[in-house]
Copies of this chain bind each other. A is one copy, B any other.
C-alpha cells in the first residue's frame, strides 16, 4: 500500500495514544478519517510505555492503535523514542545524562536528557529500536520511521565526550604537533603535550581558542550523525520497505543538517510560523527560508512533521491564537515550497505534562472549534488536489549557499554588532522572495550546475576547492554574489595571511584595503546617479583591481571609496558587496541580475504575498499566497485557471486575508 519515499500530497496529524484513555482512540481516529487525515506520527516519546522496565516490552496497546489506523486507512510514521530515556534507564545508567560546560547535570524530567556519545544510550536505544522494528515492521499501517525527535547539539561535556573528542582529534590530525599547529595553540601557552589534555570545553568562556571550538562543534555534529546512523542501519535492515526521516526544528540549528540528511530518505521540518501581528512583515519570509532550507537538505521535496495548529505556549507565555485562515495558509505555504505531506501538531491539546498549552487542532475540551473547521477545509482541499500535485517539484535557477560551518565560526567570534550570519541570509532570501525569484538554499559544498545566480553571503571560512568551484560557476556564465567577511579564514578557523577576500579576491577582482566594523551605525552607499541606500554592520574599503564600481560610500573618511563592485569573470559576473545594504538596494541589485540572467520573477508583489511554482511532467502550478491580515491585489502576467476553486482567474487577483490560490500554468505561459 505504501512505498518508500512516498510523495503523496496529503495532510496528517501527530497523535499521542499513550496520553489518552483508550476509550477515546477509535472515536479520535474515526474523526481523523472523516476529516481527511491520511497519515499520523506516533510513539516518539513513548519509551516508558513500550518498555516499562528493562527488557520488558509492552507493544499490545500500540498494536491496537495501529490496527485502528489500518482499519481507517491512515498511514503511520513511528518515532524511535530515544529522545526520552525512561527513568528506570537513567537510574540504571546515569552516564546517559548530559553534562553541561559548567559541570552540571541535565537531570531527567525534561526531554533530550541524553548524551549522544553515551554507550549506554546507544546500547539501550538501539535495543528498543530493534524490538520495535521487529514487532511493528510488518504492520500494514506502518509506512516509515522518524528517528528520535528534533536533534540539537549534544551540549554535553561529559568525560565520555571528552575522550571521544580526543580520539576524533587524533584521527583528524594524527599528531599533537599537527593539532597545535592547526589550532595555533602557541597563543597564550595553550599547547597540548598529551592527548588526554584534549577534551570538551569546560567553563563556558568565550575566550577559548576558536579553532578548537569549531572542531568541537564538528565533533558533535559527527556524534549526532553517527547516533542517527546506527538507528538507520538497524531499520534499513529490518524494515527495508519503510522510509526514514528526521524532524528538524527551528533554524538556525547548530547541526550539520546536510550530513544528517544524507542518511535519510526524506527530510522533515517542524514548522511553527509566528502568529503575532507584530511578526507579520517578517514571519512569512523567515518561514519561506526555513522551508527552502529544508527542501535543500536533500534537494528534493520534504515533509512537515509538525505544523502549527494553535497557539504554542507552556514554559513561556502563549502566543496569539492563529488568525482565521492562518493555519490553512501556512500549511499551503509549506506545500507551495515543496512539502508533500504536512503533519499537524497535534490532534488535541495535552491535558497533562509540560506541553499542555502547546495547542493542538482540538482544544482540551475536546470540542472541535474554529481551528478544527479550518483544518477540515484544508484536508478536503489537499485531498482534492493530491493527484494533480503529486510529483510536482520546485525548479530554480537561483540559489543561496548555506553553511553550518560558517554559522558556527561566526558564532564563535562575532564580527560586528548586528552582523549575524543567519539574519543576513534571511535578508538576502527575503529580497529574492519579494521579487518573486524562486531560489534554493543549499549546502555550500554542493555542485552548482544548473544555476544562473548564486548568492553566497559570509563565506568566512574558505578553501581552495570551494573557491575554485565558485570561480568555475562564474566563468561558465553564472552571476555570483559575494559579501564582506568572505575568505577571511582557512578551514582551521585561522586567518589567512592574504588580502581579503582571500581566495575569492581572484574572481571578485578586488582587494579590501581596510575595513570598518560599523555595527549598528547607519552609513550609506551611493550610485553614480546619486541614489543613496542605507547600509550597516560592516564597511570594506574596496580597491578594485579588475572590477567595476557599482556603489560608493556616502560618508565617513572613506566617502567615495568603492563599496559594491562587479567583476566580469569568464562568461559571468562576480558581485562583491563590501557592506550590508538595506533591502531596497538588494532588491534593486537582484532585479538587475535576474533581468540579465533571464530568471523568472514577479517583481511587483504586495507585502506578504508569495508566489512559487511547482511543476511536474506536463504540469505547472502557481501558488499565490497572501500571508497577511490584509486583503491584497496581485497583478499576474496572465489569466489562469484556479485548480483550488475550479474557477478562471483574470490577471488581477483579489486575495482575502490569508487567502490562497493555486493556478494552473498552461504550457504556453511563463
Residues of A whose CB lies within 8 Å of any CB of B are: 16, 18-19, 45-49, 52-53, 81, 84-88, 91, 102-111, 183-194, 196-197, 201-203, 205-212, 277, 311, 313-321, 323-324, 349-357, 363-367, 369-371, 413-419, 488, 494-500, 513-519, 521, 557
Q: How far, in angstroms, from A210 to B358 measured CA to CA in the complex? A: 14
**A366 contacts which chain B residues (CB < 8 A)?**
497
Q: Given A109-B208, A363-B514, list of 4 further CB < 8 A pairs?
A: A185-B353, A315-B413, A317-B416, A320-B519
Q: How far, in angstroms, from A202 to B45 measured CA to CA in the complex? A: 21
**Residue of A106, A107, A190, A350 contacting most chain B CB atoms (<10 Å):** A190
Q: Are A496 and B351 in contact (CB under 8 A)?
A: yes
Q: How far, in angstroms, from A315 to B88 measured CA to CA in the complex? A: 42
Say yes or no: A81-B184 contact (C-beta < 8 A), given A104-B203, A496-B351: no
Q: Are A186 and B19 in contact (CB under 8 A)?
A: yes
**Residue of A52, A315, A370 contacting most chain B CB atoms (<10 Å):** A315
Say yes or no: A211-B352 contact (C-beta < 8 A), given A103-B104, A496-B364, A521-B320: yes
Q: How far, in angstroms, from A85 to B108 measured CA to CA in the complex? A: 34
Q: How far, in angstroms, from A42 to B138 measured CA to CA in the complex? A: 71
Selected from B103, B109, B196, B494, the residue in CB contact (under 8 A) with A352 is B494
Which 8 A-B residue pairings sit nearest by Cβ, starting from the closest? A184-B352, A187-B353, A48-B189, A318-B517, A206-B315, A84-B189, A351-B495, A364-B495
Q: Are B48 and A190 in contact (CB under 8 A)?
A: yes
CB of A176, distance to nearest CB on chain B (Å): 11
Closest to A370 in B: B514
CB of A588, distance to nearest CB on chain B (Å): 27
Closest to A419 in B: B317
CB of A396, distance to nearest CB on chain B (Å): 34
Q: Are A413 and B193 in contact (CB under 8 A)?
A: no
Q: Are B188 and A45 in contact (CB under 8 A)?
A: yes
Q: Are A186 and B352 in contact (CB under 8 A)?
A: yes
Closest to A106 in B: B203
Q: Identify 26 residue pairs between A and B in the complex whose beta-carbon atoms are under 8 Å apart, listed by A's number.
A: A19-B187, A48-B189, A49-B191, A81-B189, A87-B189, A87-B190, A87-B191, A88-B193, A106-B203, A107-B202, A107-B205, A109-B208, A110-B203, A185-B353, A186-B352, A208-B354, A311-B517, A316-B414, A317-B414, A319-B517, A320-B519, A324-B557, A351-B494, A356-B495, A366-B497, A370-B514
Q: Are A207 and B354 in contact (CB under 8 A)?
A: yes
**A415 contacts which chain B residues (CB < 8 A)?**
313, 317-318, 357
Q: Are B110 and A557 in contact (CB under 8 A)?
A: no
Q: How far, in angstroms, from A206 to B354 measured CA to CA in the complex? A: 9
Q: Are B189 and A110 in contact (CB under 8 A)?
A: no
Q: Are A105 and B203 in contact (CB under 8 A)?
A: yes
Q: Are B413 and A519 in contact (CB under 8 A)?
A: no
Q: Are A48 and B363 in contact (CB under 8 A)?
A: no
CB of A138, distance to nearest CB on chain B (Å): 25
CB of A293, distance to nearest CB on chain B (Å): 26
Q: How far, in angstroms, from A196 to B557 measured CA to CA in the complex? A: 63
**A46 contacts which chain B residues (CB < 8 A)?**
186, 189
CB of A311, distance to nearest CB on chain B (Å): 6
Q: Are B365 and A188 in contact (CB under 8 A)?
A: no
**A209 contacts which chain B residues (CB < 8 A)?**
109, 352-354
**A354 contacts which chain B residues (CB < 8 A)?**
187-188, 207-210
Closest to A192 in B: B87
Q: Are B357 and A413 in contact (CB under 8 A)?
A: yes
**A87 contacts which chain B residues (CB < 8 A)?**
189-194, 197
Q: Are A351 and B521 in contact (CB under 8 A)?
A: no
**A356 contacts which chain B residues (CB < 8 A)?**
210, 413, 494-495
Say yes or no: A317-B519 contact (C-beta < 8 A), given A105-B203, A496-B351: yes
Q: Are A500 and B104 in contact (CB under 8 A)?
A: no
**A187 contacts which chain B residues (CB < 8 A)?**
16, 19, 45, 350, 352-355
CB of A308, distance to nearest CB on chain B (Å): 14
